[in-house]
Amino acid sequence: MTSQEIKLLTLDEVALMLRKSPAQMRWMRHNNTGPRSARLGGRVMYREKDVLDWIDAAFEPAA
């Protein structure tokens, strides 16, 4: 995947996507229970692929 194919999402966009509040997303980030994120240019950002992978993992059967 090239950098041109990577779609970045803000915390608010991911919160809307997951039907969570921004505060819930910050709490999940603090507890490392949410999708992978990074601070870029002073803002918390999510790669769309990481969010979708995190959702897919939630639907996988328990081992």
Handedness of CA 49, 54, 56, 57 (dihedral sign): positive
Q: Which two tokens stand for residue 29?
A: 């980030």
**pLDDT over 70 for what percent of the chain?**
94
Handedness of CA 38, 44, 49, 52 (dihedral sign): positive
* Average per-residue pLDDT for the chain: 94
Tens-place pLDDT, residues 9-36: 999 999 999 999 999 999 999 999 999 9
Q: What would you report as the CA-atom Rg of the chain, rounded to the nearest whole angstrom?
A: 12
Domain coordinates in residue numbering, the chain: 8-58
Q: Which two tokens stand for residue 42?
A: 């002073």
pTM reported for the whole predicted model? 0.86
